[in-house]
Amino acid sequence: MIQMAVQNRAAVSDEEYARRLDTCWNCPSLQYESTCRHCGCLVAVRAKLSDSICPYPGQSRW
């Protein structure tokens, strides 16, 4: 699924991806161990896309 999402789109490095995912896994807004409560996205996909931001209200956590 991640490969399909990043097709023809810029992706972050593996290190940045791991950092973003770590932030998501420790976020109080993570639901079902996969989904962001604020936007409904799968965090594993959103975190890989370089043009994505964290949708946490008031400030991005990445």
Query: Which residues lie below 8 Å from residue 60, measured CB to CB, with a gap of 6+?
Result: 53, 54
- Domain coordinates in residue numbering, the chain: 2-46
Give the pLDDT means over successive 10-residue stretches in the chain (62 positions): 72 96 96 96 94 93 92
The confidence score (pLDDT) of residue 9 equals 81
CA distances in angstroms from 19 to 46, 49, 58, listed in the order given: 13, 13, 20
pLDDT at 5: 67
Whether 45 and 54 have beta carbons less than 8 Å apart is answered as no
| pLDDT given for residue 44 in this prediction | 94
pLDDT, position 61: 93
Token readout for 39 is 């936007």
pLDDT of residue 7: 73
- Alpha carbons 55 and 10: distance in angstroms, whole number: 19
> Residue 30: what pLDDT?
97
